Chains A and B, each alone.
Chain A
Amino acid sequence: MSDTSVTSGNRVIRGGDRRTLIGTVLILILLGLAPQVIYPVFVMKLMCYALFAATFNLLFGYAGLLSFGHAAFWGAGAYLTAHAAKVWGFGPLAALGTGMVVAAALGTVIGLLAIRRKGIEFAMITLAMAELVSFIAHQMPFTHGEDGIQGVPRGHLFGLIDLGVPANIYVFVLCVFIFGMFVLWRTVHSPFGHVLRAIRDHENRAISLGYDVARYKLAAFVISAVIAALAGGTKTLVFQFAVLEDVSFHLSGQVVLMTLLGGIGRFYGPLAGAAIVVGLESFLATSSFPAPVITGFVFVLCVMLFRRGVIGELAERLKR
């Protein structure tokens, strides 16, 4: 499932890295030029969701942990960033930081509970916990229930740069995206990441090699939660609201779809998946035909025929 496997030797790993490097440069050029041709808000939305999907991929693709409630962290980031910016008057970075700190705490608690179980049970616990978070978001006064937090100010970066200016917010989101992806990249391509893959492929062997498996899983879970909150908070700064949809089960399902569609365990898989899902949805938004039917159809098609995802199939072709 992964682009490079621990046991496949140095040559293969370096080959994979070179391709990913070319991919990275291409993606950065594309994202830099995109606002010239595509509606910038759409590209910003895409970057937020792609980063979010990448955090899910860290867990599922690299550590083999299917989190079925990942919206809890995105939502925590969205709500806390919104509240910090609007009510407490924090600047954009401090507001994002608030969301990430809360998500780190939340991720530690949920992670501690969930990693005690495997496979489908892990998925169920994360789902149950996310439902709890969604319930809290529904009940707490500061989230304003069905209305959500509206009219969140974007603020000034370092008190100087006005993020209300379209070009500024675009560059800001791009920087957040690059930062988030870099953190995930470092996590995956480090000894830590290799241990995660070892756990995914053969947990008992990893245990017998002396790794404290629970601690590795928990660390991966918390990193994933924090970056997911960063993505959610950034989305809040772009659209200037946080609503119940941000903690919904629907979103948790969608992030699974994005990752599956792009390619599980492929570093850029979630990016491609998010592009397709977000693109499809905004394309279908104007028609009366419900987007879920198409996404559902793509979902089924992926599971039946393209389990490697778009990037996975592409990489397979290139290898030949």
Chain B
Amino acid sequence: MNTTMIVGQLLVGLINGSFYALLSLGMAVIFGMLHIVNFAHGALYMLGAFSAYLALHWFGINYWAALILAPLAVGLFGAVIERTMLSRLRTLDPIYGLLLTFGLTLILEGLFRYWFGSSSRPYPPPPELRGAVQIAGIYFPIYRLWIVGASLAVCLATWYFIERTRLGAYLRASTENAPLVQVFGVNVPLLVTLTYAGAAGLAGLAGVLAAPVFQVSPHMGSNLLILVFGIVVIGGMGSIRGAIVAGYALGIVEGLTKVIYPQGSYIVIFIVMAAVLLIRPSSYAAREG
């Protein structure tokens, strides 16, 4: 085992971790606010990547514009889903939300496979971010460094927004006691819709960032979804900070597992998840009593 290999896998782990963090962050926000395990999160991520791809091929919209427009489009789509479907399930067992979003995933993935086929499509990285830089004798592709930086920035910004701003405080308060917050004149249903839309937008953004690395395919989300699920659980179901930290940490753990036991890298997250669930009672269990 040489250092270059370990450093290389560390970077790969950090990149995967960036996507895990962005996706599990959104999923944790949705879980905290709506008490729904958003099974459509992988499909929203795929939708983000496809929006960027189609924007480029149909309208010639470049990467930087797509980075803004695609998350907006996915967020809008999320708002529609929340308003028309999820909001009607609020009084029921949270399991129905899980089932509904699972059904939505089947529809979205099926439709994109029908329209575009199963093969993956390349999406070029923007010219500004091509090439590689040499740090301490090791070459790092610039686009991959950009992913790590961009996702860190977005995660920190989201964390700051939820934990340190007034709107974020309303949001957190609504997860504790929605009727009370409503009494103070806050439009809670609107807040919920915005939360879902925002988290969907984050998934869309992750999709755009992923497009040049993983290529665009209808099933790119479902491969990730179950892993992200595990990470949300490891981070403590609904904890924002937990989701971000667990996202990066698990990406790195996965990368290092690849060095030691390559076949085990996929499964390591589930082993950690099962262990965490069994050893440490999570915030969710505590809340439910």
Contact = CB atoms under 8 A, between A and B. Distances in A.
Interface of A: 66, 113, 116-121, 123-125, 127-129, 131-132, 135, 139, 249, 253, 256-257, 260, 288-293, 295-300, 302-304, 307
A135 B266 contact: yes
Nearest to B118: A290
B159 interface: no
Interface of B: 37, 85, 88-89, 92, 94-96, 98-100, 102-111, 113-114, 226, 229-230, 233, 237, 263, 266-267, 270-271, 273-274, 277-278, 282, 284-285, 288
A138 B114 CA distance: 28
Contact of A117 (B100, B105, B285): B285
Contact of A121 (B100, B263, B282): B282
Nearest to A134: B267
Nearest to B266: A135
10 contacts: A120-B94, A290-B111, A291-B110, A292-B110, A296-B104, A296-B108, A299-B102, A300-B104, A300-B107, A303-B96
B15 to A, nearest CB: 22
A300 B85 contact: yes
A167 to B, nearest CB: 37
B37 A139 contact: no
A313 B56 CA distance: 48
The binding surface of chain A is classed by DSSP as: helix
Contacts of B114: 288-290, 293
B110 A296 contact: yes
A303 B103 contact: yes
Contacts of A128: 230, 270, 273-274, 277
A304 B99 CA distance: 10
Contacts of B99: 256, 260, 299, 303
Given A124-B273, A131-B226, A292-B107, 6 more contacts: A121-B277, A125-B278, A132-B271, A288-B114, A297-B107, A299-B103
A139 to B, nearest CB: 6
A124 B229 CA distance: 8
- Counting from the closest, the 8 A-B pairs by CB-CB distance are A296-B106, A299-B103, A293-B110, A296-B107, A292-B110, A300-B103, A290-B110, A128-B270
B106 A293 contact: yes
Contacts of B107: 292-293, 296-297, 300
A135 B267 contact: yes
A25 B226 CA distance: 42
B117 to A, nearest CB: 11
Given A295-B106, A303-B89, A119 B229 contact: no
A305 to B, nearest CB: 10
Contacts of B270: 128-129, 131-132, 135
A59 B230 CA distance: 23
Contacts of A129: 270, 274
Given A66-B95, A290-B114, A303 B278 contact: no
A10 B285 CA distance: 37
Given A118-B288, A125-B277, A300-B100, A139 B88 contact: no
A291 B100 CA distance: 17
Given A296-B103, A297-B107, A124 B233 contact: yes
A307 B96 contact: yes
A292 B274 contact: no
Nearest to B227: A131
A116 B226 contact: no
A257 B39 CA distance: 14
A249 B271 CA distance: 17
Contacts of B271: 132
A117 B284 CA distance: 11
A118 B273 CA distance: 15
Contacts of A125: 274, 277-278
A39 to B, nearest CB: 25
